[in-house]
Amino acid sequence: MKITNRLPGIALAALIAVPAWLLGMLFPVVGSPVLGILFGMLLAPLKRPAILESGITYTSRKLLQYSIVLLGFDMNLFQVFRVGGQTLSLMAFTLTAAFLTAYLVGRLLKVDGKTGTLIGVGTAICGGSAIAAAAPVIDADDEDVAQSISTIFLFNVIAAFLFPFLGHLMNMSDYSFGLWAGTAVNDTSSVVAAGYTFSSAAGDLAVIVKLTRTLMIVPVTLALALFTSRKKASRGGYPFVKIFPWFVLGFAAACVIGTFAPMPAGSGKLLSQIGKFVIVMAMAAIGLNTDLKKLVKKGGKPILLGLCCWAVLSVTSLAVQHFLFAV
């Protein structure tokens, strides 16, 4: 299909994304992606011309993948190397705990498998960006994405206010709290809010740990792709190359370029910001294809699953620090 046929739908998503982006800058704890989905869902019941559909679908699928690549240009791998092996080993425990909880509690609550996977990925790695990366790999539909983004958003807001209070209550050091916030708070905006509310030093460390956690998008999406391809192959043949998340390799390449290649000052940040705006466009497109009433009706179990994942992730981070690292 020609790109010109998709332009009307892409333009509509961009139009919805602009106010969501601006309001998200004013209220970073809420975040532009959540507002993009919300605005899209509010407009979804309105009848729209058929000419918009191909562009809306393209934005929610392909442009979403391209946006993940752009995020990599603002990643500095030297910051990841600086936090050392202790942080990486802590993440191995927290990610394993979050994924196991998502799988076991999701089955217990009978949450849709794709929704549960996205909630687990969003909780374990980096909220909306991780959900955006994983959704096309597992072939999640728009309602799966909207449900998981909404769930993650709820606990982002709670974490931004609750974590600093708990940190002071437990008399945590700046280093310990930075590790905790960086590994147990989902979205970057909430990590920043929680970390710097506690202290400047804790905020600096929390952001670096969060960036390191974001890199886990690469191995996790590759693992999901392998699992999905094997699952489909058992039903009649589905080559791994067809589902391989090539955009994740683009993200990894962008990280390398952003770290080692000579680029004009501020260009990496600019490309990353463009990527974040495209994510908001994609979320608006997803909202346009989401039934708000249906989402609210089945929202209780996913929220309970998100709470369990978040609680286990938070406790695991504290326990590993205390018993293994003696922090």
Q: What are the boundaries of each domain within the chain?
A: 3-323
pLDDT in tens, 220-268: 888 888 888 777 666 555 555 666 678 888 988 999 998 898 888 889 9
Please check the confidence at residue 311 and state whether its pLDDT lies above 90: yes
One-character DSSP codes across 217-251: HHHHHHHHHHHHHHHHHTTT---HHHH--HHHHHH
Please check the confidence at residue 304 and state whether its pLDDT lies above 90: yes
Q: According to the model, what pLDDT value does residue 137 have?
A: 87
Q: According to the model, what pLDDT value does residue 168 have?
A: 92
What is the average pLDDT across 128-146? 87
Please check the confidence at residue 166 and state whether its pLDDT lies above 60: yes
d(CA 265, CA 286): 34
What is the number of other CB atoms lying within 10 angstroms of the CB of residue 216? 18
Q: According to the model, what pLDDT value does residue 243 have?
A: 61
Indicate the range of 3-12, 46-55, 192-201, 290-299 predicted with least confidence.
Answer: 290-299
Res. 85 pLDDT band, cuts 50 70 90: low
Distances (CA, A) of 225 to 25, 156, 205, 218, 221: 33, 27, 31, 11, 6
pLDDT averaged over the chain?
87
What is the average pLDDT across 179-203? 87
Distances (CA, A) of 126 to 77, 215, 266: 17, 9, 23
Q: According to the model, what pLDDT value does residue 230 have?
A: 76
Among residues of the chain, what percentage have pLDDT more than 90? Answer: 41
Contact by Cβ (8 Å): 76, 259: yes
pLDDT in tens, 199-224: 988 988 888 888 888 888 888 888 88
Q: Give the pTM.
A: 0.82
Structure tokens at 285: 């497109």
d(CA 292, CA 46): 12
d(CA 243, CA 174): 42
Query: Helix axis angle, 3-26 relative to 267-288, nearest 10°?
Result: 110
